[in-house]
Chains A and B, each alone.
Chain A
Amino acid sequence: MARSNSRGSQEVNAGSMADIAFLLLIFFLVTTTIASDKGILNILPPKQDPNVPPPDIKKNERNIFNVLINANNDLLVEGDYRRSAEGLDQDFKDFILNFGAPDEEATALYNSLPASLQAQAQRKADSSDDPGEAVISIKTNRGTNYDVFLEVFDLAKKAYFDIYAERVGLTTDEYRRLTGDSEATKALQDKGKEGIPMAISIAEPDKIGGN
């Protein structure tokens, strides 16, 4: 068996096969683009009926974390001026996990968190009551650059994903990659989110610096 090839080769000459395949390969390399459908998912609020006045939601000012971005791409974070968005994700996290005045439900939530997240609760009186109440509000001008807005939105998402991931003991990347296809990943995903809704509100931009 092992020496059956000693009979001498009678194969068809396939030397140019590689060249032909190369040509095809290069053709496909040049003519195609890899479709990128990655992005940051956002759910817009439902359409507002002009005949119905917007619901008057009474929310304590301390439960809303305001980020304003003006037409010069400067930031106003909770009333303080900032030049860039750097470090904003930590501020978001501190705000969400503040547990300033938790009710019974929130106390139960607090007790269910791992110790590393519990340690981040600063219990400041002028920050959010509990994660269920906390809302991050991003407001822009019409003249604000899209990439600056996206950077802030990205950081807000990061803060939430960091918390979710830490809660289930994964890295943020691993948590974000969970698809929810199978029971196990879905359960993990839900466990991260439970009681901490991702509340990022994007306010209608006002008419400064735009058209």
Chain B
Amino acid sequence: MGKFKKKVKTGESIPTSALPDIIFMLLFFFMVTTVLREQDILVDQKIPQATQLQKLQKKTLISYIYIGKPKNTGLYGSEPRVQANDVLISSPEIVQWVNQERDKLPEADRGLITISMKVDKEVKMGPISDVQTELRNADARRVLYASTGKVN
């Protein structure tokens, strides 16, 4: 049989040279999966829960509209308001906003614009129905009721 050379005993410390790589991997994961929030949300947002959630394939088609009680009740009152982009708007302005959002999309996709309605739990159906009427006027009829998953 052949001769076996005894291994030279190395230091007993755990090699940590791979640690930065692992951390960098985590870092890249978070950098890729997260989006920097571009705008301040001016209204309360406690999103309701639901089970039958669907995810849209094309994120670019989605425009967000936020409905809820204003956070700054002193300035905006306590009735639910609608926020689009950075400002609170009133119902008649929604048509204009939808047209602006639609113009940002490539021509082929304009019919597929989807409005994600992020509505606070506390809001009543009245304001939501008003917004939906405006969306119908603007012919943006695909609506996504944003909601989070329910754990059964």
Contacts and interface: CB of A to CB of B under 8 A. Distances in A.
Interface of A: 6, 11, 14-15, 17-18, 20-22, 24-25, 28-29, 31-48, 140-147, 149-151, 153-154, 157-158, 161, 176, 179, 181, 204-205, 209-211
Interface in B13-58: 16-17, 19-20, 23-24, 26-27, 30-31, 33-37, 47-57
Given A21-B27, A147-B48, A157-B52, A38 B147 contact: yes
B51 A37 contact: no
B48 A176 contact: no
Contact of B52 (A28, A176, A210): A176
B145 A45 contact: no
A142 B126 contact: yes
Contacts of B33: 34
A144 B8 contact: no
B60 to A, nearest CB: 11
A74 B89 CA distance: 32
Specify the main secondary structure of chain A where it touches its partner.
mixed
Contact of A21 (B8, B23, B51, B126): B23
Interface string B98-128: 0000000000000000101101111111101
Given A28-B34, A43-B141, A146-B120, 12 more contacts: A14-B17, A17-B20, A28-B31, A29-B30, A40-B147, A41-B54, A41-B56, A42-B142, A144-B124, A145-B122, A150-B145, A154-B50
Given A146-B48, A210-B124, A40 B144 contact: yes
Contacts, number: 163
B12 interface: no
Nearest to B30: A28
Contacts of A150: 48, 50, 145, 147
A44 B37 contact: no
Contacts of A20: 20
A15 B136 CA distance: 60
Contact of B54 (A31, A39, A141): A39
A37 B62 contact: yes
Contacts of B23: 18, 21-22, 25
Interface residues of B, number: 57
Which 3 A-B residue pairs are closest in the complex by CB-CB distance?
A: A32-B34, A142-B126, A210-B126
17 contacts: A18-B19, A21-B27, A25-B23, A28-B27, A32-B37, A33-B37, A38-B147, A38-B149, A39-B53, A39-B116, A39-B146, A40-B54, A41-B143, A41-B145, A144-B124, A146-B122, A154-B51
